[in-house]
Chains A and B, each alone.
Chain A
Amino acid sequence: MSAADTTTPVKVPPPRQAPPPPGPADTPRRPRTSSPAAVPWLLLAPCLLILALVMGYPLARLVTLSFQKFGQSQLWGFQPAESVGFDNFEKVLGDGEFWTVVVRTIVFAAGAVVFTMVIGMAIALLLQRVSGWLKVLINIVLVASWGMPVIVATTVFKWLFDSDYGVFNALLSKLPGVEMIGHNWFASGPEGLAVIMLLVVWGAVPFVVITLSAGLTQVPKELEEAARLDGAGSWGVFRYVTLPVLKPIIVMLTTLSVIWDMGVFPQVFVMRNGHPEPEFQVLNTYSYDRAFVVNDYAQGSAIALITVLLLLGVVAVYMRQMLKIGEVE
């Protein structure tokens, strides 16, 4: 398929022997290596049990809940939860505001993912070219911002973009002819969401850079040399050698980014002091709003379920990649 599959010995694990078959054919020196088929399952049991309980049950409950009428009175047990068929979905899907939120979320996530991946790749490539001391400095900053708790980062960005005392407005105002002091970035949805996107990208780029840098060390130098001898420029080398080798990592990073960016919650929630205005709602805050502000848990669940279904498409791509990795063995 590509260079990645055929020419990177580092990535192919050494062939592993399957556990030797049990039985008298074994040489006498061989100790008992056979294990009953139950052993791996016994080892897995606690993990699977916990996941089934803390994931499986709520997931199933999410589905049933979205087909019920479930509000405050059901929560306190004054009324039994009754099944209402597709009512919640009809209500949600028939609501124009919901579709606005869906489009907004997709645009936001797509923008954040593209910026994250492009900037991440550019920095990863740049890191290969800068001097050693600078590489160390950049790495420290990247890791530090990666490790910052999301809440702390959000709080800091809120301060950077404060309308009266934020340093960002002050810096912009230093430009000739620009007067930004007092400018409220959160007065309008698109501007405010742009700031939130900046926060998301800033927090996501380090992971991408560090993972891609690890991947770049696995690009065989001989292959790059060969491409260069064949007349490829630096773009050609990147396009036909580097990119194919990195493809599995890029697919993984993109999928994870889509999942994370479709799922932004604290960034929007905290940035808007816990009450995002209508033009700041994304799917997750919208679902939260329906459930815990309007107290319609069923509708909130329906929205959450639709979000999960939207994500499944993306996850399918990732799963195929994962299955391929599983086949390598």
Chain B
Amino acid sequence: MSSTLTGRRALKLWWNVLGLLVFVTAGFPLYWMLNTAFKPAEDAIDPDPGLLPTGITFANFGRALDIADFWGPVGRSMVVSLAVVVIGMAVGLLAALAISRFAFRGRKIVIVGILAVQMVPLVAMIIPVFLLLNDLGQYDRLTGLIITYLTFILPFTVWTLRGFIVNIPKELEEAAMVDGCSRTGAFLRVVFPLLAPGMVATSVYGFIQAWNEYLYALMLLSQKNQTATVWLGNFTTKHGTEYAPMMAGATMMAVPIVALFLLVQRKMAAGLTAGAVKG
């Protein structure tokens, strides 16, 4: 009895050691970004950098803000991401309702179609989109970028919201309708409040996706209109890369996004898996 207990304990210890290894390996790039961002710039340029922080300074952040306009790109990213989320949610919610609450001919084709759209690699689209926006006079305009971002935000929004909607029992709606609500009324009074947390999570996640997009932002906007992700490229010049301020810049880009992500990921995982395993 006691020998199996100690055996089990040894096994658990062994698993924990492995787990710690995973923790350290997976977390190291994040740690190193923060470590470099906060250490004095001259300590970053050391062929044998110590693993522990050498001292905390905010100078790198100041330098990062100096190198190129930061708030302009961040403001533009904000405008684009918010617009994409608002449009995507409004349009996507209607579509998600249609495919999760109505039985109609062609429903399956629509579902597969919306999924298929997600499969088209963005890069394949970049040339025609570039030409299209060029023809429409939308090249180097934020509106053009917003429209193109919908190609990947919209399918994602529909698919995830659908995951949240199928988790709300249809019987609740039916009960409300039995009690005299109209279909719309039942939706507004019963489904909508239950769906709200899922909608918040989907919006945040969609916002993050739009915020993080790089390729379209790089191709469809000129230098003077660059967004936050492209801004990060400013640290590499012909004269080399300023790594310490660059890591400070990376931190400024990543920390708010990672924090948002940590807040909503549990909800998102629920919606995504519900969408994957439930019709």
Contacts and interface: CB of A to CB of B under 8 A. Distances in A.
A262 B123 CA distance: 11
A202 B26 CA distance: 7
A148 B26 contact: no
Given A54-B151, A131-B16, A143 B122 contact: no
Contacts of B32: 156, 159-160, 167
Interface in A131-169: 131, 134-135, 137-138, 140-153, 155-160, 162, 164-165, 167
A126 B18 contact: yes
A311 B121 contact: yes
Interface string B162-182: 000010011000100110111
A308 interface: yes
Given A62-B124, A75-B131, A153-B29, A47 B94 contact: yes
Interface stretch (A38-46, A186-194, A222-230): A38-46
A140 B258 CA distance: 10
Main secondary structure of the interface of A (DSSP, over half): helix
Interface string B21-50: 011001101101100100000001111110
A47 B262 contact: no
Interface of B: 12, 15-16, 18-20, 22-23, 26-27, 29-30, 32-33, 36, 44-49, 51, 90-92, 94-95, 97-99, 102-105, 107-108, 110-112, 114-117, 119-129, 131-132, 134, 147-148, 150-151, 154-155, 158, 166, 169-170, 174, 177-178, 180-183, 208, 211-212, 214-215, 219, 229, 232-233, 235-236, 241, 243, 246-247, 250, 253-254, 257-258, 260-262, 265, 269-270, 272-273, 276-279
A265 B215 contact: yes
B229 to A, nearest CB: 5
A47 B154 contact: yes
A130 B260 CA distance: 27
A259 B115 CA distance: 13
Contacts, number: 303
A9 to B, nearest CB: 12
Contact of B20 (A47, A134, A214, A284): A134
12 contacts: A40-B98, A55-B120, A140-B262, A151-B229, A156-B29, A259-B121, A265-B123, A266-B214, A287-B123, A304-B126, A319-B115, A323-B108
A11 B22 contact: no
Nearest to A62: B128
A50 interface: yes
Contacts of B45: 165
A159 B265 contact: no
A130 B19 contact: yes
Nearest to A171: B51
A88 to B, nearest CB: 12
A211 B23 contact: no
A3 interface: no
B273 A215 contact: yes
A202 B25 CA distance: 9
A167 B103 CA distance: 58
Given A143-B261, A149-B257, A155-B247, 10 more contacts: A11-B277, A19-B102, A40-B98, A47-B95, A51-B151, A126-B19, A202-B26, A248-B277, A263-B123, A304-B127
B119 to A, nearest CB: 5
Interface string A53-70: 011011101100100000
B23 A137 contact: yes
Contacts of A57: 128, 132
Contacts of B277: 11, 218, 248-249, 325
Contacts of B236: 273
Given A145-B26, A149-B253, A167-B32, A159 B121 contact: no
A195 interface: no
Given A134-B23, A263-B121, A323-B108, A31 B115 contact: no
Contact of A210 (B123, B181, B254, B265): B265
A35 B269 CA distance: 33
B26 to A, nearest CB: 5
A221 interface: no
Given A149-B211, A149-B212, A284 B123 contact: yes
A259 B132 CA distance: 25
Given A58-B125, A304-B124, A51 B30 contact: no
